[in-house]
Amino acid sequence: MLLQLENISKTYNNPLVDTGQVVLNKLSMEVEKGERVAILGPSGSGKSTLLNIIGTLESPDTGTVRYNEQIINELTQSGLNHFRNREIGFVFQLHHLLPQCNVVENVLIPTLVDKGGRKEKNELAENLLNRVGMWNHRYKYPGQLSGGECQRVALVRAMINQPALLLADEPTGALDGKNVGAITELLLQMNMEEHVALVVVTHSDALASTMGTIYELSEGHLQKK
Ligand code: ADP
């Protein structure tokens, strides 16, 4: 088992609700190594909150997050940062590439905290950029690329530390139909060739239908569809 969430609850302060706004309510889920999971649900149902908790960017109020049997709520902040950088890749709706860095530089940013291994990382960057069709654009800056091209670079950046888990929050939400298909294909390719597990929040039926497990998040719980 790669990831195990047990009885996760999260409540936000909301001035309109005395008791706070319950977003996740004793939610449990499991993700196997290499599994593909889609999370659907209406806007405001807590999908991003759930993804942020899985990605250790937010902590739950109660409940445990286990990763490879290790309880990650118990890690120190620096242990958590190290764990996140090594084990989890993130792709967001907007690519969040740094405008002042070219394609290769952007892709290598997550590798900078680790000393050594430069040659391997440079080779992996070349390999991955080739596979997403962006190697010929490696010296361009984000401002010189289309939205779909930026998202392909963002996907490579998410994969550069060879994570076991890739979290994607509406990865095709800002793209047109052709690019939705291209990013969907590339996510599947990374899953099958790199064995990375995918947890994808999406409104796209086309993307969701390629996932092995589809959940709907509603009223703080997940339901299998
Ligand atoms: P989704 O991704 O499904 O659209 P979110 O997880 O972004 O949903 O948000 C779920 C609910 O929690 C929303 O009503 C949102 O306003 C609220 N929320 C999210 N983050 C915070 C926060 N940091 N403080 C207060 N309320 C929040």
Residue 182's identity, in one-letter code, is A
Structure tokens at 212: 């092995």
The rounded Å distance from CA 210 to ligand 1 centre is: 27
**Cβ atoms < 10 Å from Cβ of 160:** 19
Say if residues 134 and 146 touch (Cβ distance below 8 Å): no
Q: What mean pLDDT value characterizes the chain?
A: 95
pLDDT at 83: 93
Structure tokens at 50: 């759930």
Query: What's the rounded Cα separation, in Å, for the pair 121 and 110?
Result: 10
- H or E element, residue 85: helix 77-87
Q: Give the model confidence (pLDDT) of 49-106 as tens digits.
A: 999 999 999 999 999 999 999 999 889 999 999 999 999 999 999 999 999 999 999 9
- Residue reference for tokens 């196997």: 32
Does residue 147 have a pLDDT over 80?
yes
Q: Is the CB of 23 inside a 6 Å radius of any atom of ligand 1? A: yes
Residue 27's identity, in one-letter code, is L
Q: Is the CB of 47 inside a 6 Å radius of any atom of ligand 1? A: yes
Nearest CA residue ID for atom 11, ligand 1? 44
Q: How confident is the model at residue 18 (pLDDT cuts 50, 70, 90)?
A: confident
Query: What's the rounded Cα separation, in Å, for the pair 36 and 92?
Result: 17
Determine what percent of the chain is predicted with pLDDT higher than 90: 92
Does residue 116 have a pLDDT over 80?
no
Structure tokens at 154: 């963002």
pLDDT at 105: 98
Q: Give the model confidence (pLDDT) of 47-58 as tens digits.
A: 999 999 999 999
Q: Is the CB of 44 inside a 6 Å radius of any atom of ligand 1? A: yes
Residues in the chain, overall count: 225
Nearest CA residue ID for atom 20, ligand 1? 49
E strand intervals along the chain: 3-14, 17-31, 36-40, 62-67, 70-71, 88-91, 165-169, 197-201, 213-218, 221-224
With a CB cutoff of 8 Å and minimum separation 6, the contacts of 156 are 107, 125, 128, 129, 132, 134
pLDDT at 177: 87
Query: What's the rounded Cα separation, in Å, for the pair 66 and 3?
Result: 6
Q: Is the CB of 46 inside a 6 Å radius of any atom of ligand 1? A: yes
Say if residues 26 and 9 touch (Cβ distance below 8 Å): yes
pLDDT at 104: 98
Say if residues 50 and 27 touch (Cβ distance below 8 Å): yes
**Cβ atoms < 10 Å from Cβ of 9:** 15
Nearest CA residue ID for atom 16, ligand 1? 44
pLDDT at 208: 96
Q: Is the CB of 24 inside a 6 Å radius of any atom of ligand 1? A: no
Q: Is the CB of 15 inside a 6 Å radius of any atom of ligand 1? A: no
Structure tokens at 73: 């709520």
